[in-house]
Structure 1
Amino acid sequence: MNDTGRYAHRRGIHCESACQRAVLAAGGYDVDEEIVFGLDGGFGFSFFPANGAAPDIVVGKQTIMPLRAARLMGVEVAAHTPKSADGLAELLAAAPAVLTRVDLGLLPYWNLEGRTSFGGYFVNVVRPLGTDAFEVSDPAFDDLVRVSAAELQAARSSRNSPPLNPDWKVYVLGMPRRTPQLERVGPVAVRTLCREVLKPGSRNLGIPGMRLLATTAASWPQTKHGEVEDVDLSGRVVRTDALARQLLHLGRQIESFGTGGGLFRPMIGRYLTRVADSTGEARYAEAADRFHDSGRLWSNLGSALLGAGAAPARDDLKTLVDAVADTARSAMDVEKRALTALTTL
């Protein structure tokens, strides 16, 4: 039977690591979110150009739900793809919560009306409310929220954000069999991070992905044109310029969509600081400082994009496009220096 009394909703920073942390806490194992995030090894950069006027996708990670932290803690994870509300409810009968992948744009309480999509988002589904709704724990919000079964099904089955569609995926986490020793496993995760961000094997990921964003953004005034529907920051459906939608969407990806601000850079900085403290190696702390610097670059850009207003002039939009390209190049240089220095450890 699902002992819902064991699960306590808590606000977090990053959807995946915050949701994992809350489930682990329900079993009596409390771990800081930045440790889960750092050990998971998904940090990085992803850039996926979209067709036509649709917004290009930027993510401050390279892997969705890698579950490396779970393996390091000896946590058994069962992956499922229940395609019905009944199937999801059956899993909840034996778990404090089910970690569930969704399209953020179709979660009704985000007030995005499906105009913005991100299929790499996660929430914890805590319990069914009768037969037609579920109680959902979203770490971006202060309290549990009620979502109808139909709305949750739509968010779980969305095909609106390829290649990041949810594909019905859910995860049931067991309890840790061991406590990871950060001074031993932390550096291993850092080496993986360096390898995958510096030389990811794809032009869409890591340092190559940041370079691709810088060059692609310059073409947005030509490719993102015409009038489109979007949702403004107050949740109202509006008609707007496709370029304005692209820039607002990027601002949300940097600051609003579960990154904690700065596209996860301050979060990985805190993880590196913890590794420095546990190992006594100052170069982790130096790299942490550089990621905090990069986080400020991204946050300054994100704030400018979110503060552009409802109907900025086209010339103002082009100025923001220049800022996107400049920030991507500057942040890339800072992060490349930090990661290159870490490869010598």
Structure 2
Amino acid sequence: MNPAGRYVHRRGIHCESACQCGILAAGGFEVDEEVVFGLDGGFGFSFFPANGNAPDIVVGKQAIMPLRAARLMGVEVAAHTPKSSAALAKLLAAAPAVMTRVDLGLLPHWGLEGRSSFGGYFVNVTRALPNEAFEVSDPAFDEPVVVSAADLDAARSSRNSPPVNPDRKVYVFGPRRNSPRLGLVGPVAVRNLCRDVLKPGSRSLGVPGMKRLVSTATAWPRSKQGEVEDVDLEGRVIRTDALARQLLHLGRQIESFGTGGGLFRPMLGRFLTKVAAATDDSRYAASAELFFESGRLWQNLGSTLLARGTAGSREDLKSLVDGVTDTVRSAMDVEKRALGALTALQARG
């Protein structure tokens, strides 16, 4: 356990839950990342078509920073929108770290140079440095990184990935007041996620969002046309087909952009496994196995897109689109089975 009040950088699985775990650990409370992820209730699916041939956005969650886990743990979290580096540094003066939402594509250490954007990413800012820079704890990296004040401000204020823009949001955590009993609060979180994913009230979210991705992806060979700039997996600026950029971007969203691989599905499976143990109810474990199966489908798709999405002819790219639609249909069917079983479990009690 970390000494209370001292922030220690750690590599994580998912940016949002890993950052929360790092700050909680600085307060003397160690908690598994998948537990924070599951209790937060952000799991799901979001699909946001982009204008023109820009890459459409896929996220394996439906809520960004919902703060449900913090409430269950009795942790008060204050939200701020500091407009300047000085205001951000002032918040750091009273906390071991502040959790900051950013556009991942504008963080220099990711090497994307703004050509691929995602404004729902989180890092912990841990220190203001004397040379107009900040020390940043990015859970995707083994060590803390130094980001200039100007670059961090650009990442915090980016408008490059609507409707998922960071809007300068910053969170300061207070001390923990209680420890959640997973056997009691876990089933509540599961009930909420079933409702949110099966009947989200928006065609961009949950199962409706997956259906919308399938129908939209079918049109990508017509809508993603022409040559565009992108950054390849080695960080080199390249000229590429807009359809290739879309497929590579989807691969990154599934595997690289802070999901832990498999679009969060394996992470949810581990949470459900822990709920099964805490409640002594193996039915949660049965649904966990279905999410592991779904996770493997998403991982295979993501790794294929990362390996092949930047090369090949236009016909090769069209065949990859077929792979996208087939995989999303298959994963959706598996996830509907898992969610249906969990819903029935909740109804029986």
> TM-score of the superposition, structure 2-length normalised?
0.97
Q: 2:321 and 2:310 mapped to 1: Cα distance?
A: 16
Give the SS at the match of 1:301. helix
| Separation (CA, whole Å) in 1 of partners of 2:325 and 2:130 | 50
Aligned to 1:245: 245
Q: Find out whether 1:301 has 2:310 as its counterpart.
A: no
Distance 1:62 1:311 in 2: 32
Amino acid at match of 2:267: M
1:260–1:267 Cα contact (<8 Å) kept: yes
Is the 1:268–1:291 Cα contact (8 Å) retained in structure 2? yes
SS at match of 1:263: coil
1:174-193 aligned at under 5 Å gives the runs: 174-193=174-193
Are residue 342 (structure 1) and residue 335 (structure 2) matched? no
5 Å-filtered alignment, 1:82-161, equals 82-161=82-161
In the alignment, structure 1 segments of 5+ residues that lack a partner are none
Q: 3-state SS of the aligned residue for 1:13?
A: coil
What is the CA distance between 1:309 and its match in structure 2? 5.7
| C-alpha contact (below 8 Å) 2:106/2:113 kept by paired residues | yes
Report whether the alignment pairs 1:14 with 2:23. Answer: no
Task: Give 2:215's aligned residue.
Answer: 215
Deviation at 1:276, TM superposition (A): 0.2
Structure 2 residue identity aligned to 1:77: V
Q: Judge conservation of contact 2:4–2:28 (CA < 8 Å) in 1.
A: no
For 1:208 and 1:87, the matched residues in 2 are separated by: 41
Q: 1:274 maps to which residue?
A: 274
Contact 1:4 1:126 in 2 (8 A): no
Letter in 2 for 1:264: F
Aligned to 2:263: 263
**What is residue 234 of structure 1 aligned with on the other side?**
234
2:183–2:279 CA contact under 8 A, matched in 1: yes
In the alignment, structure 1 residue 68 sits paired with structure 2 residue 94: no
Q: Which runs of 5+ in 2 are unaligned?
A: none
**In 2: Cα distance, 1:302 partner to 1:221 partner:** 19
- CA shift for structure 1 position 311: 3.0
Q: What count of residue pairs does the alignment treat as equivalent?
A: 343
TM-score (norm. length: structure 1)? 0.98
Question: Residue 177 of structure 1 aligns to a residue in which SS?
Answer: coil
Structure 1 runs of 4+ with >2 Å offset: none
Structure 1: how far apart are the matches of 2:102 and 2:131?
20
Q: CA deviation at 1:4?
A: 10
| Cα deviation code 1:64-120 (max 9, x no counterpart) | 000000000000000000010000000000000000000000000000010000000
Indicate if the aligned counterparts of 1:11 and 1:142 stay in contact, CA closer than 8 A. yes
Structure 1 counterpart of 2:254: 254
Q: Aligned partners of 1:82, 1:156: CA distance in 2, in Å? A: 10
Indicate the residue corresponding to 2:225 in structure 1. Answer: 225
Match of 2:204 in 1: 204
In structure 2, give the amino acid aligned to 1:94.
A
Aligned match of 2:166: 166
Indicate the residue corresponding to 1:30 in structure 2.
Answer: 30
Percent identity over the alignment is: 76
Deviation readout 1:273-292 (Å, 9 max, x if unpaired): 00000101111000000000
Residue identity matched to 1:275 = V
> 1:57 aligns to what?
57
1:27–1:175: 8 Å Cα contact kept in structure 2? yes
Q: Which residue of 2 aligns with 1:194?
A: 194
Give how far 1:215 is off: 1.0
